[in-house]
A and B are shown apart, each in its own frame.
Chain A
Amino acid sequence: GAVVSQHPSWVICKSGTSVKIECRSLDFQATTMFWYRQFPKQSLMLMATSNEGSKATYEQGVEKDKFLINHASLTLSTLTVTSAHPEDSSFYICSARDGQKHYGYTFGSGTRLTVV
């Protein structure tokens, strides 16, 4: 149980374009999902908390206009990297927890974004 699906697994885009990453909870409802970013050999850094039906909560230093988060349903959250630049290249991972069970937080498989 508690499966989180993330797509795409990788994406290469040109500077200035926008990229959308999807995160779905497959067998549970997630009113809250979390988006992390991980640079090579570093820890997972929380970017934002995605709340179903309301605005996302962004961590300090994360530009909300650049990283648009939409949590339109209880099973889907999307992260859109707008006007991507090479410094946005990173591993983006979403996470959610099945509140009905005492499971740990489940992570999606991650999306490796490369901006060229």
Chain B
Amino acid sequence: QQPVQSPQAVILREGEDAVINCSSSKALYSVHWYRQKHGEAPVFLMILLKGGEQKGHDKISASFNEKKQQSSLYLTASQLSYSGTYFCGTGQHLSGNTPLVFGKGTRLSVIA
């Protein structure tokens, strides 16, 4: 089942923060976050595994609440380069043999 992402779209000014949420009705083993720019393939941002992980890189971080089957992606002090569509992909097993199921995406636009 497809995870639900919110919001569908958000517009930010440079330097503002944003949170993108991803929730699933099924128990999850992992949540994967990707950013896709127009006409390009999705680019991997980070993976969060079962166990209540939180992690970050630069000014992008994420958390995974496995009990609630939810993950949130935090973008702080946004930059123009953060613009794109963010997808969460959920996995029910760590095995590389199972595909990710993606949410519908959150379109983020950062303006000067």
**Residues on A close to B: CB < 8 A?**
6, 30-32, 34, 42-46, 49, 51, 93, 95-99, 102-110, 112
Q: In this assembly, does B12 line the interface, its C-beta being within 8 Å of a C-beta of chain A?
A: no
A58 to B49, CA, bound (A): 27
Total interface residues on B, using CB and 8 Å? 25
B99 and A46 within 8 A (CB): yes
Is B95 in the interface zone, CB < 8 Å from A? Answer: yes
**Least CB distance, B76 to chain A, in whole angstroms:** 21
Do B103 and A103 touch (CB < 8 A)?
no
B47 contact set on A, CB distance < 8 A: 102-104
Q: Is the CB of B102 within 8 A of A44?
A: yes
Q: Which residues of B contact A104 (CB under 8 A)?
A: 32, 34, 44-47
